[in-house]
Amino acid sequence: MNQRTTTVDGRSIAWVHHTPSDGIQASGPAIVVLHGLGSSSREFRYLADHPTLRDRKMIAVDALGFGDSDRPADWPYTIEAHADIIASVIRQVTTPPVALVGHSMGGSIAIALTSRHPDIVERLIVAEPNLDPGVGTLSSHISRQSETRFVARGYQALV
């Protein structure tokens, strides 16, 4: 998968891109993968090598504040804000509609994105999402901590 970035509203968003190789013709809609809280696109790069997905274009996005994307202090970091900016990324980097896959917080973002931008999503697949944004007990406990505090004490306490 190739690391790339795109800019939306002056913010750099990292994403990785996989296209079929070795003369394989791409089939179906592009698969866009959204990671969970405390993760990044790196978690899903192995999918591009899965035998049943080798003929699919795949894009894994680092949400703002995660992975190699910008961490703007003046951005709201709500599920809806993530959904809107990722919708812009999708429109810039591939041709909708896409198969949208989200894990945990990424699943919540995927649900909101599908609701707010239904023209972008052909298929929605979620794993362990908070079906109602903002009500995940564990996710909200983690997100209330600063990054420094979570790294220093929160992760170890969680485990």
In the block, residue with structure tokens 């709201």: 76
State percent of the chain over pLDDT 70: 86
79 has pLDDT over 80:
yes
Q: What does the pLDDT read at residue 9?
A: 94
Q: For the ranges 1-5, 57-61, 101-105, 145-149, which has the lowest average pLDDT?
A: 145-149
Q: What does the pLDDT read at residue 139?
A: 64
Return the SS3 of 6.
Answer: strand
135 has pLDDT over 80:
no
- 103-123 average pLDDT score: 95
Q: What does the pLDDT read at residue 33?
A: 96
Q: Mean pLDDT of all residues in the chain?
A: 87
Provide the whole-model pTM: 0.82
Contact 33, 58 (CB under 8 A): yes
Contact 3, 14 (CB under 8 A): yes
In the block, residue with structure tokens 């995940």: 136
Q: What does the pLDDT read at residue 61?
A: 97
The first and second tokens of residue 54, run together, are: 């080798």
Amino acid at residue number 156: Q
In the block, residue with structure tokens 């070795």: 22
Beta bridge partners of 101: 33, 125
